[in-house]
Amino acid sequence: MRQISDKILLRSELAKKRKDLAGDGRKVVFTNGCFDILHRGHVEYLQSAAALGDVLIIGLNDDASVRRLKAADRPIVPEDDRAFLLSSLEMVDYVTLFSEDTPLDLIKTLLPDVLVKGGDYNRNTIVGADEVEAAGGKVAVIPLTPGKSTTGIVERIKQTLK
């Protein structure tokens, strides 16, 4: 991916940045997702996540992993655009793409102080929770904003096209 924001980093760059942040005593919060068709629910979720620490890092599924996880016709918005949009949000400090189906390797690399997922998860279904807690970190689940989802938006669009 071409560099379009100083907040979008390669994993190797982010790993170095994470060490610097730890050295500065900054509390790092990490979350991940597809963030396809950015909407109010995403923004409210990210605001809540950011409030749990000093620095918010987002692991963003690349296009290939979104297709594997969601559907062949997803993502709607390409990875460069999704990364740019997320990096443009005030509460987001860093974004990095990952190609795996889960962010486990990325989480093991960063070992955030707080690992956050949305209310459609629970502690036992959050990838990387064991690793973060073993390193002294915490896991948080943030409730979803009712009625706000990419799937809902896609369905409404499909209905209008019929």
Burial class of residue 91 (count of CB atoms within 10 Å of its CB; 0-12, 13-18, 19+): middle
Lowest mean pLDDT among 22-26, 57-61, 90-94, 151-155: 151-155
Residue 4 is predicted with a pLDDT of 64
Domain 11-161 class in CATH: alpha beta
Mean pLDDT of 22-45: 95
Other beta carbons within 10 angstroms of residue 12's beta carbon come to 10
pLDDT tens digits for 128-143?
Answer: 999 999 999 999 999 9
Alpha-carbon distance of 94 to 9, in angstroms, equals: 7
Alpha-carbon distance of 45 to 29, in angstroms, equals: 13
Residue 111 is predicted with a pLDDT of 97
pLDDT tens digits for 43-72?
Answer: 999 999 999 999 999 999 999 999 999 888
Contact 49, 56 (CB under 8 A): yes
| Greater model confidence, 162 or 98 | 98
Alpha-carbon distance of 71 to 60, in angstroms, equals: 16
pTM: 0.91
Residue 1 is predicted with a pLDDT of 45
Res. 161 pLDDT band, cuts 50 70 90? confident
Q: Return mean pLDDT, the chain.
A: 92
